[in-house]
Copies of this chain bind each other. A is one copy, B any other.
Amino acid sequence: MKLINNCKILIVGLGLMGGSYADALTDFGFEVGAISRKQSTIDTAIERGLIKHGFVEVTKDYVSQFDIIVFALYPHIFMEWIERYQGYIKPGALLTDVTGVKRSVVYKVQDMLRDDIEFIGAHPMAGKETSGIEAADRRIFIGANYLVTPTDKNTPDAVETCKELGKLLGCGTIRVLDPEEHDEMIGFLSQLTHCIAVSLMTCKDSKDLVDYTGDSFRDLTRIAKINDEMWSELFLLNKDELLKQMDLFLERFNKLKEFIVEDDKDKMREMMRLSSKRRGYFDK
C-alpha cells in the first residue's frame, strides 16, 4: 500500500478534476505538487492552498520526487505525456488517472510503460458544468461512485491503493470492473445522457424557453453545457460502445412513440410503470 502519510503525490493537469483531487489530498495532509500548462493556474492553486508547489515545465528533478502520480488530462495528452516523460518517474511509483474512457487508454499506457512503475485506471463519477482550477472543490467527490479498472497487468496492491484513494476522496461506493465493462457502463450512463442533453438543447432557439419551463427540462439539460473539446474526444474514443447505447435508447424511444401513435395506453402505462420501478432503485 503506497498511500501512507509521508508519500508525495503529483497531480498532472489542474482542471476541475485535478484541482479537486489536489484539494482533497492536501486536506488529508499529503504533500501535493502539480504540473500544469499555465503559471497562473499553478499560482491560483497555491494561493487557494490546493497544492504546496507546482511547475509548468516537466523536469526529472521534480517528477522523480513523487510516489503517486494522478493524471487529470485529456486522453491523448495523457498518452503523449507518458510516452515523453515516463523516464522521469521514480522507480516503484504508482500512476493513476481520472480519464472518462478506459479501453483506448489503459492498455496503451500499460503497454508502453516501464516495468518498474505501475499504472491503474480509475474514474471518479463526479463533475460539474464548470471547469478549470477556479471550480475545483473536494466536495464533488462526496458520496460519488468511484470506478477502478484494473487489467491482468495490475497487482492486487495497486488495486487496493487505488480503492483507498477513492475512499480518501470521500467517494461513497467503490467498484472494480474491467475496462470493457467500464466503457459499456459509461457509454450508457454518461456519454448517452450527454448526447441526449445536447440534442434536446439544440432542438430550438431557446432564449424564451426559460420563462415557460418546469424543472424537467432544466434537469435534462443541465449537462448540455458541455466542454466540446473534451467530450468530442471522449465520444470518439468510445465510439463503438456509445453507438450501441444510442441505438438501445432509440429502440426504446421509438417504441414509446409507436405506442403514442397507436393510442395504446396500456402499453404506454406498462412502460411507465417499469420506468418508475427501475428509477425506484436509485432512491435507496
Chain A residues proximal to chain B, CB less than 8 Å:
125-127, 144-145, 147, 173, 175, 177, 185, 188-190, 192-207, 209-226, 228-229, 231-233, 235-236, 239, 242-243, 245-246, 248-250, 252-257, 260-261, 263, 265, 268-269, 271-276, 278-282, 284
Contact = CB atoms under 8 A, between A and B. Distances in A.
A225 B271 CA distance: 11
Nearest to A182: B212
Contacts of A224: 275-276, 278-279
Those 7 A-B pairs whose CB atoms lie nearest each other, nearest first = A125-B214, A228-B272, A199-B252, A228-B269, A199-B253, A201-B275, A224-B279
Contact of A213 (B125, B197, B207, B213): B125
A127 B214 contact: yes
B193 A212 contact: no
Contacts of A205: 278
B256 A198 contact: yes
Contacts of A203: 188, 245, 248-249, 252
**Which of A145, A215, A279, A281 has its CB near the most chain B CB atoms (within 10 A)?**
A279
Given A198-B272, A239-B260, 6 more contacts: A125-B213, A189-B212, A195-B256, A202-B271, A220-B223, A225-B276
7 contacts: A145-B213, A177-B212, A185-B212, A196-B200, A201-B274, A210-B284, A246-B257
A192 B220 CA distance: 11
Contacts of A246: 253, 257, 260
A268 B228 contact: yes
Contacts of A255: 199
Contacts of A260: 235-236, 239, 242-243, 246
